[in-house]
Amino acid sequence: MQEISRTICNTRARDSGKMKTLATLLALVLAAIAIAACGSDSKGESQASEDGVVVEAKETPKGQKLKIKVAPKGQAFVASEAVASPGKMKLELDNPQTQPHDLTIKDSSGKKIEQTYYLSEMAEAVDVDLKPGEYTFYCSMRGHRKEGMEGTLTVE
């Protein structure tokens, strides 16, 4: 009788361990889904990751708006490529860091088109009117561009 009781207890303990493993696996899967769902914000803007995903300008009631985000840490933009349609738009720099950054945009000939103020922990937008072509955007703070704080804006 004692042997049967021990066997039943061991079986229940094994089943309990399997349930804990299954619950942990389910929690991990749900966490992964939640993280993947964070890929867009409520405005439908792309939340590009540092792996070179392209951020696109969005149409708003007041025209196009392109948001270039500074990475949470270091000298980097979240996306190193952006795409917009030709014409007038708001070009916004969103910097969550305490370290100041700016957004400077130049055309393919190297001519400066526009530049934001240096800012930290805030966002600022400038108005631009862009023709089709390739533009370079970068942070003009000393050394930041050299450290990789640069990207390409394709207007097509």
For 10-54, what is each residue's pLDDT tens digit? 545 555 667 676 666 555 555 555 444 444 343 333 333 344 567
pLDDT at 62: 82
CATH of the domain at 128: 2.60.40.420
* Enclosing domain of residue 93: 54-155
C-beta atoms surrounding 141 within 10 Å: 16
And the tokens for 8?
Answer: 């039943």
The verdict on 63 and 124 lying in the same domain is: yes
The verdict on 82 and 125 lying in the same domain is: yes
Residue 49 forms part of a structural domain: no
HSE of 154 in the Cβ direction (CA atoms, 13 Å)? 9
pTM of the model: 0.66
Burial letters 14-52, b for 16+ CB under 10 A, else e: eeeeeeeeeeeeeeeeeeeeeeeeeeeeeeebbebeeee
The verdict on 113 and 71 lying in the same domain is: yes
Residue 136 has pLDDT above 70, yes or no: yes
CA distance 105 to 92: 11
